[in-house]
Structure 1
Amino acid sequence: MKQRNTILFSKRKLSVIFLLFMLVIFLVGKLLLEKQQNRFDIKLSQLHHDIESLKTENNQLKQTTSSPDANDANAQIENSLTADYPDLKKEIIDTLTHANTSGTILAIKNNHLFLNEGLNYSNKELKKQNTGDSEFMMASIQKTFTATAIMLLVENDKLSLSTPLSTFYPDIPNSDTITIRQLLDMTSGLVVDSYPKKALNEEDALAEIINHIRYQEPSLKWHYSAVNYNLLAGIISKLTYKSYEDFIKEAILQPLNLKQTGFYTTFNTLPNKTTAYYGTSHSPYKKVSPILKQYYTAEIGTGNMYTSTLDLLTYFKKLINGDLLRKNNLKTLWTNQPQKYFYTYASGVYHNDGYFYSHGILRGYESSAYFTSDGENGIIFLSNSYNKTHPTQKIIQGLFNKITANK
């Protein structure tokens, strides 16, 4: 009996010792685990700190060493406004004031922006003044955007300048002999007898325009016909499976951060919109010309976009500098064939020795942009008053000559 009790006691003692041993192991393990976790937390915290430090250093490095981003283009241009050329600035403003016109005038000389000011009213009835941020329908200057979009598709091997029109519109007369290049240069021989006079979407508007196209022999000369750019807009839509408007936004406006450039469909909602007028020699505000959808339906690809002077400057500067198209492709796009057709027009732009210009007139708006070939000297005038007997283009050309004199 005594021996049996001794054995039971020994077993209990061993059980207690075993339990104590396991408890010690558990406590030691827990202690080690907590210590390891603390080390991990410290390392993780340090890692986050290092990452944030690297981000800060990287941002500082970008600010000090990176070239300017296209998204900051407008801010850089606006901030570069200088007090240089005060006499030239005064002469430009005095000349346009004497001409009794209305709009916003911008000028650069030797790559210095020295003028961006509004003249007279953006809305005469509300006594609202034009400013450097006023927005205007750009009229035919839009054709340069359409041409640039076409060249972007060429760069991406979607088509070539020698692609025949019949690839996209085989039912148009002579489409098998008309090329993309001829549409860009307006040497296709295509004309339209009538345009739609009702509000339509892009697809329906193009269909109606195409129904009224006819062909006339170019006779070795250039002939202005907006239908060329209507068709280019349609080709853009066919190739991208997007509306022309959507592709222009995605391919040009968004990459260049052109926040004051867009389409007529939203123009009436803009706080900086201008009201267009037909003017006379006595008043630039003789008659209001409203922005109605039925008026701009037929202007797809050729004249239904708005812009501001700073946005338009950004567009041309970035285009010339190779930030939108490769420079060799821009040269190809802007090279005309005067030896064959006796003209200076190519891809929405008129080219002369050492300079180019683009101009448009549409329903009370008149737009002019003149630049030297390097883009370092130029003038932009966006007007919300059109006087048929005294258009402003010749005035702007004369002021451009003043800017480029004695550069």
Structure 2
Amino acid sequence: MKRPKKQTGKLLIPIAIFLPLLLVIVSWTAGRRYAIKRDNLPKQSIRASVKASPKQTPAPKIAPNQHQLSSHLMGPTNSELQTKLVTSLRNIGFIGTGIIVKHGQIVAVSANGFANLTTNRRNGLDTTFNINSMQKAITGTLIMQQVVAGKIKLTDTLAKYYPDVSYSHSITIRQMLNMTSGLTMGSMGTGPFVNDEMTITQDIKRLQFNANFYNKSNYQAVNYVLLAGILEKVTGKSYHDLVMQRIVRRLKLAQTAFSYELTDHDLAATSYNGPREAPYQKSLTLDLNQQHYELGTGQIFMSVGDFYVTVRSMLDGTLISKADANILFAGNYGGGFYNRPQSKLANGAGVYFGSTIHVSKDGQSGIILMSNYAGDYNQLKLVANELEKVVFTPETNHD
């Protein structure tokens, strides 16, 4: 009896089709598992893996922490300005980070001292500092955005929003932006923080109206606390959320945070005080309740780069139009800036931090100095005044 012949040819055809299909399925499954696993990694881990890539462009030599800044912000080093900046800050024993900007790019950097002595972390371009009163320009810009949206008028009186304030029927939004309202308040709130509304309610009980300062310049932080409250009333959003949505996320700032939300990721500097020969003698731990009370006027940490991008965006038409910026920042002091013939400037000091910015009217040139040592504040303002004479002149050489 003959055995049936093996049908090997017919079997080979299905196998030839099946094996490649099987390989595709296995490959897709493995890739999908990797993608899911990677997507579930913490964002910090993903960033770290990107930095480790051999294809990553190495950081410019201008500063060790440069990789944290957007590449478009860095320009070629201007040797003349670099020398002037480093020398000027060395002469005052500066502790902090300073930059000079020309044509919208950083061309000089000087970072000195420790951001945190305990952890041996030095100041750099990625260090964030409490900007204190320089925050007022952010509040002013948010107000102007609501003016453009038709929710606020510069001629509105304070009585429309806070009628319990003395003489509020005679005080306009414009006057508050210009620090000519006549309102005064000795100190910010104290005790446990409840919410922004309660903070303003308590401030209203303590503020006073001084007729001698009405329509005259008198720098009083309470004006901007109330402006922050007005923003919350007309938008239905917290001041915090407005800053995050309309400034931080819009500009894609990576080194900006509210002081009461700081984490290790924010690389915030610790502030110090002591004699010049022992500047780290005393450190300060932030009182988070007190930081909440600085509503709209001094509760944000930023790097020098983030703050420059923010200010430039206020002046170049990004956050508000150039015409609206001219209206907002008008006067001896307006919207958060003092005005000079060729520049605008703002200062900030408190909780052992001190900062200053001098910026050209178009936002393309600037000097920003941020310090985490209380002894630097008055001297760094003098340094900025001297640097302005060189930075804002067309004769400065460019490499």
- Who is 2:88 aligned against? 95
Correspondence list, 1:180-199, <5 A:
180-199=173-192
Paired residue secondary structure (1:360): strand
Paired with 2:252 and 2:105, the residues of 1 have a C-alpha distance of: 21
Paired with 1:388 and 1:262, the residues of 2 have a C-alpha distance of: 23
Shift of 1:390: 4.6
- Who is 1:234 aligned against? 229
Which residue among 124, 139, 142 is the counterpart of 2:117? 124
- Who is 1:292 aligned against? 287
Paired residue secondary structure (1:387): helix
User: What is the TM-score of this pair, normalised by structure 1?
Assistant: 0.76
Closer, same or farther: CA 87–328 of 1 in aligned 2, 3 Å: closer
Paired residue secondary structure (2:228): helix
Structure 1 residue ranges (4+ consecutive) displaced by more than 3 angstroms after TM superposition: 268-271, 388-391
- Who is 1:263 aligned against? 258
CA RMSD across the alignment: 1.8
Does residue 352 (structure 1) correspond to residue 352 (structure 2)? The answer is no
Closer, same or farther: CA 129–101 of 1 in aligned 2, 3 Å: same
Deviation track 1:247-285 (CA, whole Å, cap 9, x = no partner) reads 111111111111211211212443511001124332332
Note the residue ranges of structure 2 that are not aligned, 5 or more in a row. 1-67
Closer, same or farther: CA 161–389 of 1 in aligned 2, 3 Å: closer
Deviation track 1:205-236 (CA, whole Å, cap 9, x = no partner) reads 12111111110012552101000000000000
Does residue 81 (structure 1) correspond to residue 69 (structure 2)? The answer is no
- Who is 1:323 aligned against? 318
Q: Is the 8 A contact 1:77 1:310 kept in 2?
A: no
- Who is 1:41 aligned against? none
Paired with 1:139 and 1:190, the residues of 2 have a C-alpha distance of: 20
Q: Is the 8 A contact 1:195 1:208 kept in 2?
A: no
Q: Is the 8 A contact 1:191 1:216 kept in 2?
A: yes
Paired with 2:200 and 2:305, the residues of 1 have a C-alpha distance of: 31
Closer, same or farther: CA 179–210 of 1 in aligned 2, 3 Å: same
- Who is 2:44 aligned against? none
Which residue among 162, 171, 176 is the counterpart of 1:169? 162
Paired with 2:149 and 2:287, the residues of 1 have a C-alpha distance of: 36
One-letter amino acid matched to 1:212: R
Percent sequence identity is: 28
User: What is the TM-score of this pair, normalised by structure 2?
Assistant: 0.78
Paired residue secondary structure (2:76): coil
Shift of 1:106: 1.2
- Out of 156-165 and 115-124, give the one that drifted further: 115-124
Does residue 156 (structure 1) correspond to residue 133 (structure 2)? The answer is no
Correspondence list, 1:3-402, <5 A:
75-78=70-73, 80-83=74-77, 85-200=78-193, 201-217=195-211, 218=213, 220-336=215-331, 344-387=332-375, 390-402=378-390
Paired residue secondary structure (2:251): coil
Q: Is the 8 A contact 1:196 1:298 kept in 2?
A: yes
Shift of 1:331: 0.6
Paired with 1:373 and 1:148, the residues of 2 have a C-alpha distance of: 15
Deviation track 1:284-303 (CA, whole Å, cap 9, x = no partner) reads 32321211212313200000
What is the total number of aligned residue pairs between the two structures? 326
Shift of 1:97: 1.7
Q: Is the 8 A contact 2:154 2:174 kept in 1?
A: yes
Paired with 1:105 and 1:137, the residues of 2 have a C-alpha distance of: 14
Paired residue secondary structure (2:94): coil
One-letter amino acid matched to 2:296: G
